[in-house]
Structure 1
Amino acid sequence: FRFQRLGDATLVSGCSLSVSQEITEVPRFQQRLTRDVRFQRGIPHRLAAGSLLVLKANRWFVVRGVTYPDGHFVRMQDWVSPEEQFTFNPAEPGEYVFMFATAQGIKRQMRMEAIECQQQNA
């Protein structure tokens, strides 16, 4: 039998972090691409490595690319409509930098730190 704490899923994660990495504040999300284009939920400043990031927006946007923690840039050019969603799985811990743009060509970078979770003894 495994005890699982109930509560707001945005405040309680399924992974155990070290004391120095423990997230004590309410998670903050980067939601605004421009004044008119906003992500629903958005990109968190911190996310557990291996967790799925799902992005939706109220208008069209494009994911130009992602810079991985090792400095490697992957160009994507994935257009996402308001009915679709973009998913990303940060496999390695470290800082990820996303480059987004609107249909009008306005660009914005957003950063996310992927945190490595400690293994829990079962």
Structure 2
Amino acid sequence: MKLHIHFPDNLISDDLLRQQRIPCLCKVSTQFEIFFSDTVPESSGIVSGWSRDELERRAIAGAGGQYTHYANSLITLSNISEGLYQIIDLEMFTEALVGALFSEMDNTHPPEISGTTSPRKRINGDRS
């Protein structure tokens, strides 16, 4: 999966992008949007290369409203080019504090099913 976004050109964004597990908000309707409130100004981007079927296998959809998924999340990114980032890891947390960590969102890698003591499942971005 790839994130199309233009972060503000400042030290806050530079520092944030060097980190792993960056706080964000995932909003999924017909598009998959990721919102970053820690950047100044706030920024958001659109995810490409994702599958709704794979997302729904890993993260429980909410009931009603504009978005099927609306979750506080943690993301790790790798810069590909100006305004384009590879999603390395993405953890989505539901209202029940159960998360989904996205790993290889394709049909060749089934999701890991977490045990009752683990708060998340793993789902990474593809490496292409």
Shorter-chain TM-score above 0.5? no
Of Structure 1 and Structure 2, which has the larger fraction of its residues in helix? 2
Calculate the TM-score normalised by the size of structure 2: 0.30
Of Structure 1 and Structure 2, which has the larger fraction of its residues in strand? 1
Radius of gyration: which is bigger? 1
Calculate the TM-score normalised by the size of structure 1: 0.31
